[in-house]
Structure 1
């Protein structure tokens, strides 16, 4: 690759920052990278904050450790010594009027072991009695994509979906199980669906195979909050002098040039062009569609069809002395069918040892509110969301104390919805983008909403751009 090349990354979330870091790490020493972020801060949906004087996450608080990409990135940027697994385990479900243990032996709520499920009390006797029919049902092979909710309900009944699958999927996507793609969201179940056999037996086989693999933490956090990760990556990007980050810089247009791309920023009456040999788009579907529309109608149309869900996080700090008691474990999920206001609560001071060490006299927990189609929740006043959270916590765990500090964080349109057919839409987008020279896309909309998936998506985009820069400039394919 010739020296002096310049790559612009549009978007300063974890995907964009990772793409910039990989470009600088693996590219020619003469390569320079500029990250353009429209907001006033980098990090996207990962954000570190504080409450009552202690650090907390205001976005995602953990990352899947059984996928190595995010943990490896954290180590590369100097956070290796601060990686910590949860200090405790044991989540619950607040359903059917009580806090009940999350039954062991499931894949995204789909049971493979009925004994702990029966003991948990999560399902009614009728719901439990429906599950064994799975073995007697005639084989049905799902050749095309199907929603998680439809597939599981047809095999095991609606109660399994409503009280087990829905709250777990909702915690990841803030969506509806009856709308979310099986192939995109729970791909490990797809071979079972395509075989047409027993779902319970298939899940049991998956669990048996997992038990044979080396044990280790499922999730990992970062001392001081996962929100430190994008800041550490940003620091690594600018440390060597070849990378720069500009916030409050929205890209309004993307133009082709004879050897690359021109990005138009600044106000419409005083546009500021930025020349680039290559571009990585690491932004949500809507802005990506807007920038790609003049160059690929197919990519723009497919991206524009992807919907997003918003949610709000309420963080509450209490004096431990004011709490009569709090349940053990990491917190609880709430099935939408139970009609509660909150959809989950995390007992952060139980879950993260570093948080308990920061102030042993403080107890921090948080709740989440809002699912797909519930955008009105985000319009409510902070005090109303706090009051709703406290009312539900009072009923769920008997919490009677008043918080000494509160914090409300809204993530409007934060989570892409992987609707049925999502993988096909993304395949169309990728095929269209591949026809555009020296341009790549990455982020949560493409290969997964979790941090490791975003890191992997960004690494792939960076590798694609570096490969294209190593060869001659190719004219667009129409």
Structure 2
């Protein structure tokens, strides 16, 4: 949708811009639904506030008044069957010193973290490996499962085992490339400078407001429930089924669909896209009675190996001031990690029951919801495994050799909303140059 909006801006009112949407609604993994008398996001519910893409896009679309920031409540980690404050001063859960994880991991692990700078580090400049391998060999398994997995799982619906250092913690890879003598020192160098700016932002009335504004601004011809079924070169143009010939195409689709569509036209690109796996997940939104007893924290991340089904809870009414004004208390439970499809396929009643049971276990809240909503995200998030950056570079290079086609989306340079906005903007700019030129 961002690509369509940018193309409209770049090419003017006379251009025919077509969106083929395989589902019955626009927005991909953004969705706002009514719940207990107000809007609730059941896909992405926040964006990184320190990146410029979203504030700039909201300003362009006249939506600056929709921008809101968190209340300042801190998150918790559920590990060892208990709640712990989220460690401060880590990089995606990776500590710079032992004191950071005091209380979250055992004494032996703290000693290991403290001694890590004295252990020789072997890092190949420009290389890559999984976060689990790097952190586990330096700091131990408890750091991986109790501190790193909960954060990476919240972002990618995966584990440290399926996350490459270079793609998921790029500043850490850069510090290691620059010769940091230990992992502790690399984390210290990679940590962002202290800032009072909000880390996250969201929209007061949900992402649906943004989707509606983009649809109006793009003024595109939209075909819902119409997947692109084939793509082939026709002279200097392209034919995309079922709409026929076009001057150019932006493929803003998940990696497997990109691989299928590129198989005949750009087989080298298809091969690389096919190497990016997807993870599925489920969000269960709960509207609880007022004064249900939710803790005054923004959320709870769950360590790997705990006796729970949920991987995380967002305590929405504690996290966002505008949601605290509602006459209900809102929370979201998240389920599903890469390779674990069982929960995604469970029926709504079971998922709601699991969400309530796990919420009671971690918070003691037993109130019966006044409303619920279950949202499944099949293949919702690409996995940035070790070597992901090289795969994407090869994919983009193969596409760049062919006029009139671009790729965009979460499979490339970031799964967050700002990264996808940037991806759509970049694809539209390149396609504009090729089509207009």
For the aligned pair, the TM-score class normalised by the smaller chain equals: over 0.9
Counterparts of 1:111 and 1:59 in 2: how far apart (Å)?
Answer: 29
Per-residue CA shift, 1:381-440, capped at 9, x if unaligned?
A: 111111111111111111121111111110011100111111111111111111211111
Counterparts of 2:384 and 2:190 in 1: how far apart (Å)?
Answer: 23
Q: Give the equivalent residue in structure 1 for 2:115.
A: 133
The CA deviation at 1:258 is 2.2
1:239-388 equivalent positions in 2, closer than 5 A: 243-265=220-242, 273-321=243-291, 323=292, 325-357=293-325, 359=326, 361-388=327-354
Per-residue CA shift, 1:229-285, capped at 9, x if unaligned?
A: 2222112112xxxx32221222111121223111111xxxxxxx4221111111111
Of 394, 407, 420, the residue aligned with 2:373 is: 407
| Contact preservation (8 Å) 1:309, 1:414 | yes
Counterparts of 1:44 and 1:291 in 2: how far apart (Å)?
Answer: 18
Q: Give the equivalent residue in structure 1 for 2:106.
A: 124
Counterparts of 2:265 and 2:319 in 1: how far apart (Å)?
Answer: 47
1:62-141 equivalent positions in 2, closer than 5 A: 62-118=46-102, 121-141=103-123
Q: Secondary structure at the match of 1:93?
A: strand
Per-residue CA shift, 1:55-86, capped at 9, x if unaligned?
A: 10010000111111122112212221010001
Distance 1:423 1:205, change over 3 A: closer
Q: Which one has a bigger Cα radius of gyration?
A: 1
The CA deviation at 1:460 is 0.8
Q: Give the equivalent residue in structure 1 for 2:143.
A: 160
Q: TM-score, normalised by structure 2?
A: 0.96
| Contact preservation (8 Å) 1:104, 1:113 | no
Counterparts of 1:333 and 1:42 in 2: how far apart (Å)?
Answer: 29
Q: Which runs of 4+ in 1 moved over 6 A?
A: none
Counterparts of 1:256 and 1:36 in 2: how far apart (Å)?
Answer: 18
Per-residue CA shift, 1:120-156, capped at 9, x if unaligned?
A: x111112211101211111312332111111111222
Per-residue CA shift, 1:302-329, capped at 9, x if unaligned?
A: 21222100001111111114x2x22111
Structure 1 stretches of 5 or more lacking a match? 1-16, 266-272, 472-478
Counterparts of 2:390 and 2:185 in 1: how far apart (Å)?
Answer: 28
Q: Give the equivalent residue in structure 2 for 1:222.
A: 203
Aligned residues: 435
Per-residue CA shift, 1:79-135, capped at 9, x if unaligned?
A: 2101000123200001112111001111100112443421xx111112211101211
Counterparts of 1:125 and 1:437 in 2: how far apart (Å)?
Answer: 59
| Contact preservation (8 Å) 1:313, 1:366 | yes
Q: Secondary structure at the match of 2:110?
A: helix
Q: Give the equivalent residue in structure 2 for 1:197.
A: 181
Counterparts of 1:339 and 1:395 in 2: how far apart (Å)?
Answer: 10
Distance 1:365 1:38, change over 3 A: same
Counterparts of 1:419 and 1:205 in 2: how far apart (Å)?
Answer: 23
Distance 1:151 1:183, change over 3 A: same
Counterparts of 2:270 and 2:118 in 1: how far apart (Å)?
Answer: 45
Further displaced range: 417-426 or 37-46 = 417-426
Counterparts of 2:339 and 2:212 in 1: how far apart (Å)?
Answer: 32
Q: Give the equivalent residue in structure 1 for 2:217.
A: 236
Q: TM-score, normalised by structure 1?
A: 0.88
Of 417, 427, 431, the residue aligned with 1:461 is: 427
Per-residue CA shift, 1:154-173, capped at 9, x if unaligned?
A: 22222111111101000011
| Contact preservation (8 Å) 2:97, 2:113 | no
